């Protein structure tokens, strides 16, 4: 999407409150993993609710290029893999587009397959650090040659006889944890990962769902994960829940636009993903979960949310892994809350699709909201009325684009964004769905 023309949008206060019942697209993290694990399993995996966003389609294309059959049939996606150890050399460069998750998880798979591949991505992904996966994966015997600063493009020669890894994560990252576990699938023996703080555990859940032996033990706030190598993964059906990170946008919009009331159906409620919901409740949000249930090893439920006059919040750094993608939209909620909020320990935001730490502050400042950065903390002074009238540069970052469009629903004057193209990576039909609820967003 590097060379497509920009698609600017304007967001303004809607004429009436937001109302309705919607389903948001499938969970991005689970969708990537469903395609990858399906390709590593024996038999045909059937996936419903797969996110058909640009990021996940890149993973589908990469798994095809590595020898898997990946196809859409009706509402289902079918994946028939060559199985662990059976991947073949792609005959062209693997282009992972905007997706850090696709790139880093795939590095794990490629590291323990005796094949050569070259990986690249768009201008945003080519800026993001790959050293965090290259360092642990080299220890299994794989060779990586990267551009200066360990950036993509990256050439990978996977190990012939991969060694199992034992790695303690220096940063809380589910992508790094998953890359190590994926490499361990084709290594003889026990692969071990220790994470300082728990991060989303979709890989562990799905590996078990496909028949692998994964054990997890908790030591204080740290978690120790063990995977028995070279399991026979068996194809399994997967129903992908609605993405809580996508639900966050309509949810916050409904909290902020007076008199709104909406329901978001079948949203994933994995406790390692729900930090935003806990934080919004601390701010006083009228947010309830209905019909809690378990689907394919993951908790889901319907979220019902009503407009609430929110209060400021102090978010501890330890909560970051459970809401790492939600800070831009939380910052929007804080800008409208009564009092001063402090969002602590956000260093990891600097290496997302954009430098989200700086970009989130710039977005609020563009609207005339009051925000300060102090070390790795963001301090936001809530205002009863945010002036708006500004323009946000979205820097190829889907979550920044959607956050700015939600912000424009409550500012006195409309907000504009320079480009909405990248919303497609995670939330196809975002503007259509939001307009259906009553939000005001239109092309410039
Ligand atoms: C993801 C992990 C997180 C998150 C990303 C998806 C995953 O990244 O930001 O959107 O699916 O494992 P980090 O591992 O870099 O924290």
pLDDT digits (tens, 9 = 90+) for 294-341: 987 789 999 999 999 999 999 999 999 999 999 999 999 999 999 999
The count of other CB atoms within 10 Å of the CB of residue 104 is 24
Name the residue of 324, 354, 427 to mutate for ligand 1: max ligand atoms within 8 A of Cβ. Answer: 324
| Residue 102 CB–ligand 1 contact under 6 Å | no
Q: What is the mean pLDDT of residues 54-77?
A: 98
Distance 275 CA to ligand 1 centre (A): 14
Work out the pLDDT band at 4, boundaries 50, 70, 90.
confident
The helix/strand/coil state of 442 is strand
| Residue 29 CB–ligand 1 contact under 6 Å | yes
| Residue 12 CB–ligand 1 contact under 6 Å | no
325 among known catalytic residues: yes
Q: Are 390 and 366 in contact (CB under 8 A)?
A: yes
pLDDT digits (tens, 9 = 90+) for 340-364: 999 999 999 999 999 999 999 999 9
Q: What is the mean pLDDT of residues 173-191?
A: 98
User: Does the predicted TM-score (pTM) go above 0.95?
Assistant: yes
Identify the pLDDT of residue 2: 52
| Residue 94 CB–ligand 1 contact under 6 Å | no
Name the residue of 124, 171, 175 to mutate for ligand 1: max ligand atoms within 8 A of Cβ. Answer: 175
pLDDT at 3 over 80: no
Question: Alpha carbon of 374 to those of 82, 345, 346: distances in Å?
Answer: 50, 10, 10
The residue nearest atom 15 of ligand 1, judged by CA position, is 173
The residue nearest atom 10 of ligand 1, judged by CA position, is 325
Q: Which of 201, 243, 302, 325 is catalytic?
A: 325
Distance 248 CA to ligand 1 centre (A): 16
Identify the pLDDT of residue 297: 79
Q: What is the mean pLDDT of residues 51-75?
A: 98
Distance 174 CA to ligand 1 centre (A): 5
For the chain, give the percent of residues with pLDDT over 90.
97
Q: What is the mean pLDDT of residues 156-170?
A: 98
| Sign of the C-alpha dihedral computed for residues 123, 418, 362 and 333 taken in this order | negative
CA atoms within 13 A on the CB side of 281: 10
| Residue 99 CB–ligand 1 contact under 6 Å | no
| Sign of the C-alpha dihedral computed for residues 332, 245, 349 and 363 taken in this order | negative
pLDDT digits (tens, 9 = 90+) for 30-50: 999 999 999 999 999 999 999
Distance 28 CA to ligand 1 centre (A): 10
Q: How far is CA 85 from the centre of its chain?
A: 27
Q: What is the mean pLDDT of residues 367-387?
A: 98
Dihedral over alpha carbons 380, 385, 389, 391 (to 10 degrees): 20
Work out the pLDDT band at 58, boundaries 50, 70, 90.
very high
Identify the pLDDT of residue 295: 87
| Residue 426 CB–ligand 1 contact under 6 Å | no
Work out the pLDDT band at 439, boundaries 50, 70, 90.
very high
DSSP line for 27-89: PHHHHHHHHHHHHHSBSEEEEES---SHHHHHHHHHHHHTT-EEEEETTEEEEE---TT----
Identify the pLDDT of residue 96: 98
DSSP line for 219-253: ETTEEEEEEESS---B---EEPPBPHHHHHHHHHH
| Residue 175 CB–ligand 1 contact under 6 Å | yes
The rounded distance, in Å, linking the Cα atoms of 61 and 36 is 11
pLDDT at 102 over 80: yes
The rounded distance, in Å, linking the Cα atoms of 407 and 367 is 8
Name the residue of 101, 133, 177, 356 to mutate for ligand 1: max ligand atoms within 8 A of Cβ. Answer: 101
pLDDT at 1 over 70: no
The rounded distance, in Å, linking the Cα atoms of 312 and 343 is 10
Domains observed in the chain: 9-26+241-443 (3.65.10.10), 28-239 (3.65.10.10)
Strand order in the sheet with 238-239: 69-73, 76-80, 44-48, 238-239
Q: Are 221 and 71 in contact (CB under 8 A)?
A: no
Q: What is the mean pLDDT of residues 259-265?
A: 98
């Amino acid at each position: 999407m590097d060379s497509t023309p920009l698609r600017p949008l304007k967001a303004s206060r809607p004429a009436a409150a937001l109302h309705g019942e919607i389903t948001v697209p499938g969970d991005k993290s689970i969708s990537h993993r469903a395609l990858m694990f399906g390709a590593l399993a024996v038999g045909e995996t059937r996936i419903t609710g797969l996110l058909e966003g640009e990021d996940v389609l890149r993973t589908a294309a990469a798994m095809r290029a590595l020898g898997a059959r990946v196809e859409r049939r009706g509402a289902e996606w079918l994946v028939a893999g060559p199985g662990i150890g059976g991947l073949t050399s792609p005959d062209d460069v693997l282009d992972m587009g905007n997706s850090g998750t696709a790139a880093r998880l795939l590095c794990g798979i490629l590291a323990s397959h005796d094949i050569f591949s070259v990986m690249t991505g768009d201008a945003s992904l080519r800026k993001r650090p790959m050293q965090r996966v290259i360092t642990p994966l080299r220890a299994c015997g794989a060779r990586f040659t990267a551009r200066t600063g360990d950036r993509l493009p990256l050439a990978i020669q996977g190990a012939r006889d991969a060694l199992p890894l034992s790695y303690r994560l220096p940063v809380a990252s589910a992508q790094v944890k998953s890359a190590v576990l994926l490499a361990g699938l084709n290594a003889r023996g026990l692969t071990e990962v220790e994470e300082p703080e728990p991060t989303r555990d979709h890989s562990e859940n799905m590996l078990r769902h496909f028949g692998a032996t994964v054990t997890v033990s908790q030591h204080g706030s740290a978690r120790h994960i063990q995977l028995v190598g070279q399991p026979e993964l068996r194809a399994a059906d997967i129903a992908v829940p609605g993405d809580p990170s996508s639900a966050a946008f309509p949810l916050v919009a409904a909290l902020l636009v007076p008199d709104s009331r909406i329901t978001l159906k079948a949203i994933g409620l994995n406790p390692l993903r729900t930090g935003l919901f806990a934080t919004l409740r601390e701010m006083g949000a009228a947010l309830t979960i209905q019909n809690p249930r378990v689907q394919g090893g993951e908790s889901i439920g319907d979220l019902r949310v009503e407009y609430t006059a929110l209060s400021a919040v102090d978010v501890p750094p330890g909560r970051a892994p459970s809401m790492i993608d939600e800070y831009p939209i939380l910052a929007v909620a804080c800008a409208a809350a009564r009092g001063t909020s402090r969002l602590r320990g956000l260093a990891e935001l600097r290496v997302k699709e954009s430098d989200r730490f700086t970009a989130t502050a710039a977005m609020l400042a563009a609207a005339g909201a009051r925000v300060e950065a102090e070390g790795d903390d963001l301090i936001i002074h809530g205002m009863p009325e945010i002036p708006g009238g500004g323009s946000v540069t979205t820097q190829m970052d889907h979550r920044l684009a959607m956050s700015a469009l939600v912000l424009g629903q409550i500012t006195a004057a409309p907000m504009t964004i320079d480009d909405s193209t990248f919303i497609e990576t995670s939330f196809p039909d975002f503007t259509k769905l939001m307009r259906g609820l009553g939000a005001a967003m239109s092309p410039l």
